[in-house]
C-alpha cells in the first residue's frame, strides 16, 4: 500500500516517517509540506542515509491517483481544507488535527477558526481505535483523536460505560511534554521558558475539552461537563492524564483493576497496571502503548486513574497508523510493535 504524508516536516510527520519506514505493508510514496524541492534529510539530518525523499507540491488529484492513503499531519485550520479536497476520491484519509473531531459550530467556538463543512466532518469516524474498531475498518476518512483525549478517554472508558461514577464529578489534571506543541517556535515552548518550569495553560478553555465530553456522552448520554486542566512539562515526549472520579458505590482497587483488565483484554496497546503499580511517561515513550494505573481512596470514595501515552505515538502518528492498519484489513499492531525507549 502506498502512503502519502502532508505535514511531513512537523513532529507528527517525522513520527509517521519513522513508523512507515519500517512498516511491512505501507510504502511512503510521496511527502509534502508548504515547501517542496527539499530533501527530507536536509530538513531532518537524523534521516541522512535512511531516507532522501524529496518534498513535493501538494496536488490532491495527483496524490489521490498515486497513493492508497494520505496522512494529514497538518495544523488545525489547514487539515480540514485538505480533507475536503481528498474526500470522495479514491484514497483513504487519516487526519491528525482537531478539524474533523467536532461539529462545525462547536469547532468554531473552541478553536476560534473557521470550520470545515459539516458535510465533510460528518463523514469522519472518530479514530479512538480501541472503542471504534468496527467503524474504523469500514471508513475512508478518520479523524484521529487529540493527544490529551486519547490518554483521558482510555482511562475513563470502563467506569463511564459501566456507569460506576457520578456524572458531574470528573476532574482531569493533564500534563504534556513540549513536542505536543509542534515544531514551530513559540515563547512558551522555548528552552528558557519551559526548562525547569511547570505551567498551566488554557485553563478551562482547552480545545480538547468538548472532544472528551462528546465521547463520554457517546458512552453514557447522562455525562456532564468535566473540569480539565492542561500543563506543560519540561520533557520532550509524553502525556500523563490523572483523572479523579467519584464512585457511586464502594469498590476496591482490586475489583476495578479487574474490570479494566477485562475491558482491555483484546486491546494490545492498552496495558493495565497491577494493584499498587502506576505508570510513568518514560515507560511508554517511543511506543504506541497507553498504560493505566488506578487506585480507590476508600476515605473519599474517589478513584484516581493515571494514564500515560507518548503524545507523538498513541497520541498522534502511532494511533493514525493503528487506524490505517484496520482500514486496510491488517492487524492493528502491524508495524507498531516497537518497545518503549527506556531509560
Ligand X SMILES: NC(=O)C1=CN([C@@H]2O[C@H](COP(=O)(O)OP(=O)(O)OC[C@H]3O[C@@H](n4cnc5c(N)ncnc54)[C@H](OP(=O)(O)O)[C@@H]3O)[C@@H](O)[C@H]2O)C=CC1
Ligand Y SMILES: CC(=O)N[C@@H](CCC(=O)OP(=O)(O)O)C(=O)O
Give me the active site residues, please: 147
143 scored as a contact of ligand Y (CB under 6 A): no
Closest separation in Å from C-beta 247 to ligand Y: 29
CB of 116 to ligand Y, least distance (A): 13
Q: Give 76 or 132: the residue with its C-beta nearer to ligand Y.
A: 76
Query: What's the grid cell of residue 1?
Result: 500500500
Tell whether residue 287 is a contact of ligand X (CB under 6 A).
Answer: no
Q: Does 11 bind ligand X (CB under 6 A)?
A: yes
Cβ neighbours of residue 173 closer than 8 Å, sequence gap 6 or more: 229, 231, 241, 242, 243, 244
Ramachandran quadrant class, 171 (left: phi over 0; alpha: psi -120 to 50; beta: rest): beta
Angle between helices 147-161 and 209-219 (to 10 degrees): 30
**CB 334, min distance to ligand X, A:** 21
- The item of ligand Y, ligand X, none sharing an interface with residue 64, based on CB under 5 to 8 Å by kind, is none
Among residues 313, 307, 315, which one has the least CA distance to residue 337?
A: 313
Task: Answer yes or no whether residue 180 interacts with ligand Y by CB under 6 A.
Answer: yes
Cβ contacts of residue 111 below 8 Å, gap of 6+?
76, 77, 98, 102, 207
Nearer to ligand X, 149 or 335 (CB): 149
Quick one: which of 6, 17, 67, 147 contacts ligand Y (CB under 6 A)?
147
Find the distance separating the first CA and the last CA of the chain, reported in whole Å: 34
Decide which of ligand X, ligand Y, none touches 207; Cβ closer than 5 to 8 Å per partner kind. Answer: ligand Y
- Which DSSP letter does residue 238 get? -
Q: How much of the chain is helix, strand and coil, in % rounded to 5?
A: 35, 20, 45
Q: Pick the piece of the chain touching ligand X (CB under 6 A) from 44-52, 176-184, 203-211, 248-256.
A: 176-184
The one segment of 176-184, 254-262, 272-280, 291-299 that binds ligand Y by CB under 6 A: 176-184
Among 1, 39, 51, 78, binds ligand X (CB under 6 A): 78
Are β-strands 290-297 and 69-72 bridged in parallel, bridged antiparallel, or unpaired?
A: unpaired
Q: How far is the CB of 250 from ligand X (least distance, A)?
A: 37
Work out whether 235 is an interface residue with ligand X (CB under 6 A): no
**Interface characters, 119-148, with ligand X (x: CB under 6 A):** ---------------------------xx-
Paired with 165 in beta bridges are 247
Distance of alpha carbon 169 from alpha carbon 246, whole angstroms = 6
| Of the candidate residues 4, 56, 64, 76, the single one contacting ligand X (CB under 6 A) | 76
* Beta carbons within 8 Å of 14's beta carbon, 6+ residues apart: 8, 44
The reply on whether position 47 binds ligand X by CB under 6 A is: no
Q: Choose from ligand X, ligand Y, none: what does 120 bind? Cβ within 5-8 Å by kind.
A: none
Neighbours of 244 (CB within 10 A): 16
Q: Is 176 in the site for ligand Y (CB under 6 A)?
A: yes
User: Residues 214-253: x/- map of binding to ligand Y (CB under 6 A)?
Assistant: ----------------x-x---------------------
Return the residue nearest ligand X (CB atom): 10
For residue 153, give the nearest of 225, 216, 245 by alpha carbon. Answer: 216
Residue 205's Cβ-count burial label (10 Å; 0-12, 13-18, 19+) is exposed
Q: How near is the Cβ of 33 to ligand X at its closest, in Å?
A: 3
C-beta of residue 2 within 8 angstroms of C-beta of residue 65: no
Nearer to ligand Y by Cβ, of 284 and 296: the residue is 284
Q: Which residues bind ligand X (CB under 6 A)?
A: 6-13, 33-35, 58, 73-76, 78-79, 96-97, 146-147, 179-180, 182-184, 311-312, 315-316
Q: Which residues bind ligand Y (CB under 6 A)?
A: 76, 97-98, 146-147, 176, 180-181, 207, 230, 232
Amino acid at each position: 500500500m502506498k502512503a502519502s504524508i502532508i505535514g511531513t516536516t512537523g513532529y507528527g510527520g517525522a513520527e509517521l516517517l519513522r513508523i512507515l519506514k519500517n512498516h511491512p505493508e505501507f510504502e511512503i510514496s510521496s511527502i509534502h509540506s508548504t515547501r517542496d524541492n527539499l530533501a527530507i534529510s536536509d530538513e531532518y539530518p537524523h534521516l541522512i542515509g535512511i531516507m532522501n525523499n524529496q518534498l513535493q507540491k501538494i496536488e490532491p488529484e495527483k496524490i489521490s491517483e498515486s497513493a492508497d492513503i494520505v496522512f494529514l499531519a497538518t495544523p488545525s485550520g489547514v487539515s480540514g481544507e485538505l480533507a475536503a479536497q481528498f474526500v470522495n476520491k479514491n484514497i483513504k484519509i487519516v487526519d491528525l488535527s482537531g478539524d474533523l473531531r467536532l461539529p462545525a459550530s462547536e469547532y468554531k467556538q473552541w478553536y476560534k477558526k473557521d470550520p470545515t463543512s459539516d458535510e465533510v466532518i460528518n463523514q469522519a469516524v472518530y479514530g479512538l481505535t480501541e472503542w471504534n474498531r468496527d467503524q474504523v475498518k469500514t471508513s475512508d476518512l478518520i479523524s484521529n483523536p487529540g493527544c490529551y483525549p486519547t490518554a483521558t478517554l482510555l482511562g475513563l472508558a470502563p467506569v463511564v460505560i459501566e456507569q460506576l461514577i457520578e456524572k458531574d464529578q470528573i476532574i482531569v489534571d493533564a500534563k504534556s511534554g513540549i513536542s505536543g506543541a509542534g515544531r514551530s517556535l513559540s515563547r512558551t515552548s522555548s528552552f528558557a521558558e519551559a526548562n525547569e518550569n511547570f505551567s498551566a495553560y488554557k485553563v478551562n478553555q482547552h480545545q480538547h475539552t468538548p472532544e472528551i465530553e462528546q465521547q463520554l456522552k457517546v458512552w453514557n448520554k447522562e455525562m456532564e461537563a468535566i473540569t480539565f486542566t492542561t500543563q506543560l512539562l519540561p520533557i520532550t515526549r509524553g502525556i500523563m492524564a490523572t483523572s479523579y472520579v467519584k464512585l457511586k458505590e464502594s469498590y476496591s482497587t482490586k475489583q476495578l483493576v479487574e474490570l479494566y483488565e477485562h475491558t482491555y483484554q483484546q486491546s494490545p496497546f492498552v496495558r493495565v497496571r497491577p494493584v499498587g503499580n502506576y505508570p510513568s511517561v518514560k515507560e511508554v515513550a517511543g511506543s504506541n502503548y497507553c498504560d493505566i494505573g488506578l487506585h480507590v481512596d476508600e476515605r473519599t470514595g474517589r478513584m484516581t486513574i493515571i494514564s500515560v501515552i507518548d503524545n507523538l505515538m498513541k497520541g498522534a502518528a502511532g494511533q493514525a497508523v493503528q487506524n490505517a492498519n484496520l482500514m486496510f484489513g491488517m492487524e492493528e499492531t502491524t508495524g507498531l510493535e516497537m518497545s518503549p525507549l527506556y531509560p
